[in-house]
Amino acid sequence: MNLHLIESSAVLGMQTTAEAERAYWLSRRNDAVKAPEEIDVHAFHEALGLMYPLNWSTSENGEWETFMLQEMVCCDVTEIYARCGARYFRLRDVCNLSHAQIT
C-alpha cells in the first residue's frame, strides 16, 4: 500500500491513511466474495460437520436449507452453503445475508 501526500499536514496524513486503509480492507473483502458453485452432497455435509453452523435455517417444507461457517475468510465474509431441493451450493459472501437473499 503506497501513500502519496502533496502536503505535510499531520491531520491530512492521518485522514488519508485511514481512508487508504479502509479502501484496502474493502478491496480485500470484495476479493474474498465468490459466486455460487454447485457441490456434491458429501461436501455439503462435511462442511456442516466442521463446526457449529452460523445462521442455520431450513424451510418449513424442507425444500431449502442454508448455513454459514462461523469462521470468517476476510472481514465479515464467510463460506455459505445452500441446499435447494437435491442441488447443493457453496459461495462466499457477507455473514449478514438473510436466507431469502441466499436462496
What's the Cα-to-Cα distance from 82 to each of 31, 35, 62, 65, rounded to whole Å? 21, 12, 12, 6
42 and 26 in a common domain:
no
Question: DSSP letters along 22-62, please?
Answer: HHHHHHHHHHH-EEEEEE-HHHHHHHHTTSPPEEEEE-TTS
98 and 55 in a common domain:
yes
Model confidence at 10: pLDDT above 90: no
pLDDT of residue 96: 94
83 and 58 in a common domain:
yes
51 and 21 in a common domain:
no
Q: Which domain holds residue 71?
A: 33-102
pTM exceeding 0.85: no
Domain count, the chain: 2
> Which phi and psi angles does 20 have, rounded to 5°?
-65, -40
| 103 vs 83, higher pLDDT | 83
89 and 45 in a common domain:
yes
Residue-wise pLDDT tens digits, 36-84: 999 999 999 999 999 999 999 999 999 999 999 999 999 999 999 999 9
pLDDT band at 8 (very low <50, low <70, confident <90, very high): low
pLDDT band at 19 (very low <50, low <70, confident <90, very high): confident
53 and 28 in a common domain:
no
| 10 vs 102, higher pLDDT | 102
